[in-house]
């Protein structure tokens, strides 16, 4: 039977061998060349999914938020959509100060959680909703006001959706960034920030039949955002449209008629243009 001194010597020897093997393995790990195609500074966090943001998250100062909502003249019956809603401050202010309801669209789930917490703390969680959604897929038809703090490129990509989906007379307010050739209807400077607002114009381009005191004329309109051009033809003569403008559902232009130079001011109601003055003696309808 082995003596106790022999067993003790065996255990000590085994410990020394194990320690040597561990030291050797560590040396091989830290001095070995990285495998082909694998970076030496491999960072597993690079493989963690992060949402792709269309615009960087930058908060809007509360002074600018108040000015944006004041410019848009937000009413209690308004439905506000904030595209890129961040911490929710624009919608929360619209609900608290103006009684409006709204939807905030954001792609970053952390910002959505923060916005929901802020809405609960402000006591307006029942009036606002925050949704994780691609802002280019968000329906805009129900909006009375759309608010933006994005980038010029994103604004330009949104512009066709705004013009196609939003109702005439609804508003768009942007912090700092414009809509390219679509000129704003209002602009205001707040400190170092610029606020811009657009009123969505009615879509009036095309052919209309204009009835002036029982005489028919053909009205051809071309539209470039708020600006109108075109011709008015009737009674063997044709005249250019002048000073043509669309402001929401309201339309105004000047043209020469058989009775002389005349100002036409009306309101677009679907496929009709109704004069603002009931006794104006004219009306228009889209030509079929």
| Pair 124, 219 in one domain | no
What secondary structure does DSSP assign to 53-70, as a single string?
-SS---PPPHHHHHHHHH
Evaluate if residue 33 carries a pLDDT over 70. Answer: no
Cα(275)–Cα(251) distance, integer angstroms: 9
| Pair 127, 183 in one domain | yes
* Residue 42 covered by a domain: no
Distance of CA 184 to the CA centre of its chain: 15
Q: Report the 10 Å Cβ neighbour count for 271.
A: 12
* Final residue in a domain of this structure, among 199, 233, 267: 199
Sign of CA dihedral 245, 249, 250, 252: positive
| pLDDT tens profile 236-258 | 889 999 999 999 999 999 999 98
Evaluate if residue 190 carries a pLDDT over 50. Answer: yes
* Residue 194 covered by a domain: yes
| pLDDT tens profile 57-101 | 567 899 999 999 999 999 999 999 999 999 999 999 999 999 999
Q: What is the pLDDT of residue 14?
A: 52
By the 8 A CB rule, do 231 and 220 touch? yes
By the 8 A CB rule, do 158 and 143 touch? no
| pLDDT tens profile 193-215 | 999 999 999 999 999 999 998 99
Higher-scoring residue by pLDDT: 55, 85: 85
| Pair 212, 191 in one domain | no
Q: What is the Rg, in whole angstroms, of the alpha carbon atoms belonging to the chain?
A: 33
* Final residue in a domain of this structure, among 199, 234, 258: 199
Higher-scoring residue by pLDDT: 214, 26: 214
| Pair 109, 157 in one domain | yes
Q: Report the 10 Å Cβ neighbour count for 98.
A: 16
| Pair 121, 231 in one domain | no
* Residue 43 covered by a domain: no
Q: What is the pLDDT of residue 30?
A: 46
Q: Are strands 101-106 and 79-83 parallel, antiparallel or unpaired?
A: parallel
| Pair 89, 135 in one domain | yes
Cα(219)–Cα(238) distance, integer angstroms: 10
* Residue 79 covered by a domain: yes
Q: What is the pLDDT of residue 258?
A: 83
* Residue 45 covered by a domain: no
Structure tokens given for 183: 């000129």
Contacts (Cβ under 8 Å, ≥6 apart) of 233: 217, 218, 220, 239
Which residues constitute the domain of residue 217?
206-286
**For residue 213, which phi and psi values (nearest 5 degrees)?**
60, 35
Sheet arrangement for strand 171-175? 128-132, 101-106, 79-83, 145-148, 171-175, 193-199, 186-190
Angle at 129 between CA 128 and CA 135, to 5 degrees: 120
Structure tokens given for 229: 């051009």
| Pair 192, 271 in one domain | no
When divided into structural domains, the chain yields a total of 2
| Pair 165, 251 in one domain | no
* Residue 99 covered by a domain: yes
Q: What is the pTM of this model?
A: 0.79
Higher-scoring residue by pLDDT: 15, 155: 155
Cα–Cα distance list, 174 to 170, 234, 274 (Å): 14, 43, 32
* Residue 6 covered by a domain: no
Q: What is the CATH number of the domain that holds 179?
A: 3.40.50.150
Cα(89)–Cα(162) distance, integer angstroms: 22
Q: How far apart are the first and last CA of the chain?
A: 115
* Final residue in a domain of this structure, among 174, 199, 224: 199
| Pair 66, 195 in one domain | yes
Q: What is the pLDDT of residue 13?
A: 54
* Residue 225 covered by a domain: yes
| Pair 72, 133 in one domain | yes
| Pair 82, 185 in one domain | yes
| Pair 122, 193 in one domain | yes
């Amino acid at each position: 039977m082995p003596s106790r001194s022999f067993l003790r010597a065996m255990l000590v020897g085994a410990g020394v061998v194990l320690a040597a093997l561990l030291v050797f393995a560590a040396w091989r790990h830290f001095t070995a060349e990285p495998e082909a195609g694998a970076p030496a500074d491999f960072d597993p966090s690079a493989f963690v999914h992060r949402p792709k943001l269309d615009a960087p998250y930058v908060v809007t100062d509360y002074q600018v938020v108040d000015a944006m909502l004041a410019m848009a003249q937000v009413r209690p019956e308004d439905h506000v959509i904030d595209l890129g809603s961040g911490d929710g401050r624009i919608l929360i202010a619209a609900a608290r100060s103006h009684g409006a309801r709204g939807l905030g669209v954001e792609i970053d789930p952390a910002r959505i959680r923060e916005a929901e917490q802020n809405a609960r703390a402000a006591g307006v969680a029942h009036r606002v909703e925050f949704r994780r959604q691609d802002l280019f897929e968000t329906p805009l038809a129900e909006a009375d006001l759309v608010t933006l703090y994005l980038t010029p490129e994103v604004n330009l990509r949104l512009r066709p959706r705004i013009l196609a989906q939003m109702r005439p007379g609804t508003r768009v307010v942007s912090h700092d960034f414009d809509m390219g050739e679509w000129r704003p209807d209002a602009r205001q400077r707040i400190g170092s920030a610029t606020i811009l607002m657009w009123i969505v114009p009615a879509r009036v381009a095309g052919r209309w039949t204009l009835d002036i005191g029982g005489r028919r004329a053909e009205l051809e309109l071309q539209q470039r955002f708020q600006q109108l051009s075109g011709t008015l033809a009737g009674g063997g003569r044709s005249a250019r449209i002048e000073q043509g403008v669309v402001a929401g559902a309201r339309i105004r232009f000047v043209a020469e008629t058989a009775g002389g130079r005349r100002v036409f001011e009306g309101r677009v109601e679907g496929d009709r243009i109704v004069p603002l003055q009931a006794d104006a003696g004219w009306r228009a309808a889209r030509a079929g």
